[in-house]
Amino acid sequence: DADVTQTPRNRITKTGKRIMLECSQTKGHDRMYWYRQDPGLGLRLIYYSFDVKDINKGEISDGYSVSRQAQAKFSLSLESAIPNQTALYFCATSESTGAGELFFGEGSRLTVL
């Protein structure tokens, strides 16, 4: 089983719909992240959480919200999806000490029509 699990893996939705992407991890890490990948733009940080009570906006948080339900769970919501939110979304975790390696889930591909 994957250490970082994302659901759903693929989702097609319509403009204006509410979408939630879920992430759970078994690595025991305090830090969790949501990134978005677009062609030619690399991975851009949407939100991050360094512990259960900590939520921070990243580079591109507009149009998104998050919830850290537990140490192991971090969900990303699109309250009213729009077509330019069509992208590949990645959840990641890391240890709480120092600059370190991120462990990524397999990604959730979202298409907004």
Interacting residues toward other proteins by CB under 8 A: 4, 31, 33, 35, 40-45, 48, 50, 58, 90, 92, 94, 99-107
Given a contact cutoff of 8 angstroms between Cβ atoms, the answer to whether 61 and 47 are in contact is: yes
Question: Rounded to the nearest 5°, which phi and psi values hold at 57?
Answer: -75, 145
State in angstroms the smallest separation of the CB of 112 from other proteins: 20
Q: Which is nearer to other proteins, 20 or 102 (CB)?
A: 102
State in angstroms the smallest separation of the CB of 15 from other proteins: 26
- The long-range contacts involving 41-48, CB below 8 angstroms and separated by at least 24 positions, are 43/90, 46/76, 46/89, 47/76
Q: Which is nearer to other proteins, 47 or 72 (CB)?
A: 47
